[in-house]
C-alpha cells in the first residue's frame, strides 16, 4: 500500500494534517502529523510533504512529485520538523488523510 498525491488537486484545506494527528495522537493539530501542508500565500505557492518509511520524504509540489531525504519545513511555530515526526503507518490499513481529502488529491494505491 502507498499514498499517491496529485498536488494540483489540493485546495489547501489542511484536513489531511488534522486527520493524521487525530488518528495518531487523539489531538486535533497539524503539529505532529506525518503529512504536512506548506502554504506561502505571498508567493502563491504550496506543497505537501509526506514522511514515509525509512525517513523518506515524498514532496508533492505543483511542479510534480518527487522522493528524497531533503529536510522539510516545520509547519509553523511549535511544530515538529517533519524528519522528527512519526512516519506514515497508513493508519493501520485505513488511511484517514485519503478518506477525508475532499478533492481526491490523496489516494491509496497498492
Q: Which of 36, 57, 58, 101 binds ligand SF4 (CB under 6 A)?
A: 101
Shortest Å distance, C-beta 18 to ligand SF4:
9
| C-alpha separations of 96 from 5, 16, 78, 102 in Å | 14, 7, 23, 12
Shortest Å distance, C-beta 13 to ligand SF4:
4
Question: If you count them, how many residues does the chain have?
Answer: 110
20: Cα within 13 Å, side-chain hemisphere? 25
Residues near ligand SF4 (CB under 6 A): 10-16, 19-20, 23, 33-35, 37, 48, 50, 88-91, 95-97, 101-103, 105-106
Amino acid at each position: 500500500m502507498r499514498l499517491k498525491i496529485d498536488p494540483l488537486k489540493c485546495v489547501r484545506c489542511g484536513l489531511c494534517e488534522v486527520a493524521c494527528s487525530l488518528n495518531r495522537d487523539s489531538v486535533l493539530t497539524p503539529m505532529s502529523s506525518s503529512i504536512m501542508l506548506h502554504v506561502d500565500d505571498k508567493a502563491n505557492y504550496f506543497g505537501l510533504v509526506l514522511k514515509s518509511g525509512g525517513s523518506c520524504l515524498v514532496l508533492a509540489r505543483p511542479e510534480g512529485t518527487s522522493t528524497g531525504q531533503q529536510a522539510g519545513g516545520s509547519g509553523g511555530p511549535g511544530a515538529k520538523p517533519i524528519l522528527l515526526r512519526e512516519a506514515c503507518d497508513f493508519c493501520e490499513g485505513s488511511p484517514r488523510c485519503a478518506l477525508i481529502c475532499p478533492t481526491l488529491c490523496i489516494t491509496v494505491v497498492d
